[in-house]
Amino acid sequence: MFAKKQFGQNFITDKNLILKIISLLDSEPDQLVIEIGPGQGALTKVLVEKYRHVLAIEIDKDLESFLKAEIPNNNFELVMADILTFDLSNYLKNQKKIYKKISIISNLPYYITSEIIFKTFLNSEHLDKAIFMTQKEVAQRITATVGENNYNNLSVAAELYSHKKYEFTVRKQMFNPVPKVDSAIISFNFNKPSFNIGLEDKIKVNEMVRKLFNNRRKTILNNLGNLIGDKSRAQKILESLGIDFQLRPEVISTSEYLQIYKLVGDFKNED
């Protein structure tokens, strides 16, 4: 089977790397593990030996017969679908009644990395953990903390929904075909979120922060003023929180964004 560029496929070839990645999942055997993009089944073959049920979601129809032949295990379920249109929410709600734990694992296609991560976040209330492989630069952005150059709205979102961690770097030579850049493994523990707020508020905070990062070269005062359509009110909000007007979005912490959100209330939902 050949890797297809349109699906961002790069297959893992190192067995020790596979074992190292899977070791980051919880060892509880009574677990549903969802693998997004199983490819040639390198991780999948190990997962079915460790966990009660493995659901693999694959978009490449050419891999269907190959995967079914390679992994005949009864606890293996293959769904041919695009993860972005797959009804993950309803699926997880039903499965949560059956399994002690549910986790997601994936070597993420580079071209839809953010979309898959956000979809995972939106369903995190039904999940225990997610282990993702991304391009190293993307992993550094996601796991960045306030004040770092890579800190962005995705960094804030990851912190809102989970305890995030940069696990380790993966050299590009461990894939076939060899990609242009190194990758990294990152983990999200949804049982230990840094902030205890409801899903609806998390979604609204994410939207607010995304808009405030749209013009990251501008000050927080200008961006917040544009967002709520009232620079004078924005100044009063920042004053009440003791936040310097001249700071830029990348030096505002997640906890400060939460405080801003609580005072802002409704904001203009326009880009």
82 assigned binding-site residue: yes
Task: Map residue 223 onto helix, strand or coil.
Answer: helix
107 assigned binding-site residue: yes
Residue pair 63/40 in contact by the 8 Å Cβ criterion = yes
* Burial of residue 173 (number of CB atoms within 10 Å: 0-12, 13-18, 19+): exposed
Nearest alpha carbon to residue 176 among 56, 7, 9, 59: 9
pLDDT tens for 225-253 read: 999 999 999 999 999 999 999 999 999 99
- pTM given for the model: 0.88
62 assigned binding-site residue: no
Residue with tokens 């906890």: 255
> What pLDDT is attached to residue 271?
39
> What pLDDT is attached to residue 110?
82
Residues of the chain with CATH 1.10.8.100: 199-264
Average pLDDT over residues 28-42: 93
CATH number for the domain whose boundaries are 199-264: 1.10.8.100
> What pLDDT is attached to residue 173?
73
* Burial of residue 11 (number of CB atoms within 10 Å: 0-12, 13-18, 19+): middle
> What pLDDT is attached to residue 145?
92
Give residue 3's identity as a one-letter amino acid code.
Answer: A
Residue pair 132/24 in contact by the 8 Å Cβ criterion = no
10 assigned binding-site residue: yes
CATH number for the domain whose boundaries are 5-189: 3.40.50.150
Residues of the chain with CATH 3.40.50.150: 5-189
